[in-house]
Structure 1
Amino acid sequence: MSISAWEPVPPHAPPVALAANGRILSTAPNRLGYLTPTDPSAGVEAIRHLFGLQGYVWLKGLLPRAEVIDFRGWVLSHLAESGLLKPGTDPSLGVASGGAFDRQIADRRLMSLVRSTAYEGFCAQPRLSRLMDGFVGGLSYLHKRKIMRFTLPGTAAATPAHYDLVYLRGGTDRVVTAWIPIGDTSIDMGGLIYLEGSHAVGVAMEAQSSKDNAGLSPQERISAYNRNMAEGGWVSKDLPQMAERFDSRWLVADFEAGDVVLHSPYMIHASTTNQSINGLIRLSTDIRYQNVDDEIDARWGNHWSLDDML
């Protein structure tokens, strides 16, 4: 079987001008491209091979679509009390109210949701767990600290460019991130984007950081917020400049419910502003796996909280 049953997405103009942190991404062919989808049935060895080459693997339809959409509706129904959703709409659609909402209520509900049995089950469903066992070459360990995010249309902020190992330095570098869009996430909704070929860049950056941090205490050395790091552990908030600096392209995609993207801890990625033309809330989760026998970052042994500084 070929590695991918899907043809690469042909270049086309995004439905909106993609923006992040006040800057517009270039649509030039040498600065903007599209992720290559992969058929999960290609087998774990083919998937691992692609992961090594690309720094990511976009697995199309790995999870049951209907179950992902049902879970989206369940999550958003619990957040609805905050005023996030347009009254009278199906929560699984995620239509934003367009008005003010109570951030404190939404955050409290979100912290409850990431501690729930239902969320744990979603992240540990057998289809994904079995794949990760094969991918890490043994029994896979799912980090307890798991993150779920919602982003409303028109929210100005977007996640700056970074690579994940900055926040996981207390354990192995063989950790793998699974980013899961919870529901269809078209390009205009501001899903994750990846700097093409940047897993090699991340390796070089981390090697330099190790040299710079050599004189720090062990606790400070592993912190993404130490004196030698940029604010928040980010590589940059200027995504267009990043593409120019490394003569690379930002890779984007129209994700669908059921898709999962695996990426390297060295792969530089970011998000763009949610400019949903249909007024939809972007909902996603990012979780980390590794071989259970490898060193585990103890800081990730607690549930995610908004103030945990990781």
Structure 2
Amino acid sequence: MAPSRIDTPQTQSSVIPSSKDLKFTVDDGYDSYHPVDPHTLDLQSNFGPMDPGSVGYLQPTSVDTPLEIMHERYERDGYLFIKKCIPKETSLACRRAYFEHMAPSGLLKPGTDAVEGIFSGADTRKYMPPGNLRRLFGLKDDPESDKYVELMVSAHEAPFYVDFCQCPELRQFVSRFMGWKNPQMLQRTMLRAFVPNSELTPVHFDQMYLRAGPPTSLTAWVPIGDVSLQGGGLMYLERSTDIGMKTEQDFADNAHNLTDEERISAFNKNMNDGGFLSRDTVAYGKERKRKWLIAEYEAGDVIFHNPFMVHASCKNKDPENKIRLATDVRFVDPEKPYDKRWMKVYRPLDGL
């Protein structure tokens, strides 16, 4: 029997407080990170260039910031961008091992160091992630492309990646931040390598895919190695948890024609093909009148976000032709209800 849909509770007020409403303050430059003028960047969506006026910056928080400050920033902004959350060496070791694992697929430029992740320049359709986007746009019947899929899927159970996901510093931070004694990482994780000029992450929020449980999970998006401002790192729609909550409620209100099993699926007939909100990040941001927030990520950084926070990515336009490698893992309190469909290792087109 399919699990019944759990009605979405309100996890935070739809009226998001401004900086002046915060109870706690710390002089760490938060709200002042602005590394370059967005007009100088080559930021590309699926439908052309991003509007520089619609681009802002994610604000970093140091790992030793007082907990009450971190909680208020997360509640207000929907994310927490933690610098040096895990050891840099841990991130780079995983990056090297991943690209060594993937080398037989022709992914890397010959003669380059695996840890750099320099793209070979082959047809980018070979290296689209398995799933709905590859089904729609990927290369068919190509041996090298098929090898990529095989290796990419098997990487989710490779010892180097399993060890990376068990990083004690990451789990300790989640436990401290969420107040969970023994946080449970959901077994279904997403390990993705986006090559330059290929497909991007469409617009979505996580609760769409976790509907068989309440919206109490915490997602950690972990860059594996550095990701430049133009490298296609994850970007967030400014203070958009209210949009995610309203959108999910609209989906629920229109689900009267669906079975219980269909209601909890992000791919039901009321959703877009592929289960996302939009492939046009520019139009979506303008329609919502919010900026897209980007960042330069360094090995060791982790960004945590609310399950209703709307996010996406630009195309990878890294000036050094580096592949963007990252994983997203989700944590829950095992003593409370959660979407147990995610307690299995990722497989392409597994319905989630």
Query: TM-score when scaled to structure 1?
Result: 0.94
1:116-155 equivalences under 5 Å are 116-138=158-180, 139-155=182-198
Is 1:22 the equivalent of 2:65? no
In structure 2, the partner of 1:13 is 38
Checking the alignment, whether the CA contact within 8 Å between 2:38 and 2:55 is kept in structure 1 is no
1:66-85 equivalences under 5 Å are 66-85=89-108
Of 38, 44, 55 in structure 2, the residue corresponding to residue 32 of structure 1 is 55
Q: What CA deviation, in whole Å up to 9, does each residue of 1:114-162 have, x standing for no partner? A: 112321221121111011112232221100001100111121x211111
Checking the alignment, whether the CA contact within 8 Å between 1:159 and 1:272 is kept in structure 2 is yes
1:114–1:13 CA distance, 2 compared to 1 (3 A): same
Q: Which range is displaced more, 294-303 or 244-253? A: 294-303
1:85–1:11 CA distance, 2 compared to 1 (3 A): closer
Superposed structure 1 runs of 4+ greater than 6 Å apart? none
1:194–1:119 CA distance, 2 compared to 1 (3 A): same
Is 1:200 the equivalent of 2:277? no
Please report how far the alpha carbon of residue 260 of structure 1 lies from its aligned counterpart in structure 2 after TM superposition.
0.2
Of 10, 18, 26 in structure 2, the residue corresponding to residue 2 of structure 1 is 26
Checking the alignment, whether the CA contact within 8 Å between 1:3 and 1:39 is kept in structure 2 is no
Checking the alignment, whether the CA contact within 8 Å between 2:244 and 2:308 is kept in structure 1 is yes
2:51 counterpart letter in structure 1: S
Checking the alignment, whether the CA contact within 8 Å between 1:4 and 1:37 is kept in structure 2 is no
What is the alpha-carbon distance in structure 2 between the residues aligned to residue 261 and residue 14 of structure 1?
25
What is the alpha-carbon distance in structure 2 between the residues aligned to residue 180 and residue 14 of structure 1?
27
What is the alpha-carbon distance in structure 2 between the residues aligned to residue 39 and residue 32 of structure 1?
23
How many residues are paired up?
A: 307
CA RMSD of aligned residues (A): 1.7
1:169 counterpart letter in structure 2: R
1:295 counterpart letter in structure 2: P
In structure 1, the partner of 2:130 is none
What is the alpha-carbon distance in structure 1 between the residues aligned to residue 274 and residue 27 of structure 2?
37
Q: Which range is displaced more, 102-111 or 53-62? A: 102-111
- Structure 1 unmatched runs, 5+: none
Checking the alignment, whether the CA contact within 8 Å between 2:265 and 2:351 is kept in structure 1 is no
What is the alpha-carbon distance in structure 1 between the residues aligned to residue 345 and residue 39 of structure 2?
36
* SS in structure 2 of the partner of residue 72 of structure 1: helix
Is 1:232 the equivalent of 2:259? no
